[in-house]
Amino acid sequence: MVKHSNSAVLVIGLGRFGSALAAELVASGQDVMAVERERNIVQHYIDDFTTVVEADATDLDALEQLGVEQFDTAVVGIGTSIENSVLTVANLVDLGVTHIWAKATTRSHGQILSRIGANHVIYPEQEAGERTAHLLGGTMRNFTEFSPGYALANITIPESLAGRPIRELRLKDRYGVTVVAYEDEHDFHNIADDTELPAGRNMLVAGPTDRVDEFAQRL
């Protein structure tokens, strides 16, 4: 059995999602053990992550030999086979991994993953599409739905909102959103009641997703 720190992250499946995630984790200083069944993919990433192992994650014995039960957090990035994805998550549950994140390709796939024990189900393609749709309106520079039904958007400040104190704009009453920060030439700053927004700069707006979306469309 290989010994691992329980603070390391296990990433299973090195497709586009899994490899990008593993690369971000390593770049942020996180130890990663990546598991991939395809030998050519393992060879491609062998020097990129902390540990890269060729193994079949649907095989419980193989995961036990890797010491997977020592990991607190695992991410299953398998997307090409729903059966392999489900079997892998079931194995992680059986081995007692505390936090299991799993990629799903459809809602029904995600529901199965949740029912067998995945704590967090991710829909990368759908979330990317939704995010792009929000940005297509033109006024939003960035958009993040950080909890179900609640969003934070980076929106260009229009002339119609500039040069007046925030309290006079009554954005919470009129649109159901809150400006939480604004940008000047150098940095973002907190909002006070007497803050006057500079036209053409950016502001961070938070609120229910539909309200944020509607607010951006009105500008």
| Integer-rounded Cα radius of gyration of the chain | 22
Cα 89 to Cα 92: distance, rounded to the nearest angstrom: 5
Residues 93, 192, single domain; the answer is: no
Residues 136, 89, single domain; the answer is: no
pLDDT at 2: 46
Among residues 122, 137, 160, the one where a domain terminates is 122
Share of the chain above pLDDT 90, in %: 56
Residues 96, 147, single domain; the answer is: no
Give domain status of residue 4, yes or no: no
Q: What is the CATH number of the domain that holds 86?
A: 3.40.50.720
Residue/partner pairs of 144-147 with CB below 8 Å, 24 or more apart: 145/209
pLDDT at 149: 75
22-38 tens-digit pLDDT? 998 988 888 999 999 99
Give domain status of residue 3, yes or no: no
What distances in angstroms separate CA 187 from CA 63, 125, 133, one per listed residue?
47, 32, 27
Residues 97, 178, single domain; the answer is: no
Cα 65 to Cα 177: distance, rounded to the nearest angstrom: 52
Residues 101, 41, single domain; the answer is: yes
The encoded tokens of residue 167 equal 């309290």
Dihedral sign computed on CA atoms, order 22, 25, 29, 35: negative
Beta strand 9-12 with 150-156: parallel, antiparallel or unpaired? Answer: unpaired
Q: Are the C-beta atoms of residues 77 and 14 closer than 8 Å to each other?
A: yes
User: SS3 of 120, please?
Assistant: strand
Q: What is the CATH number of the domain that holds 183?
A: 3.30.70.1450
Residues 16, 118, single domain; the answer is: yes
Q: Are the C-beta atoms of residues 133 and 115 closer than 8 Å to each other?
A: no
Count of structural domains, the chain: 2
- Does residue 139 or residue 3 have the better pLDDT? 139
Give domain status of residue 1, yes or no: no
The least confident of 48-57, 114-123, 147-156, 169-178 is 147-156
Give domain status of residue 46, yes or no: yes
Structural domain that includes position 149 = 127-218
User: SS3 of 103, please?
Assistant: strand
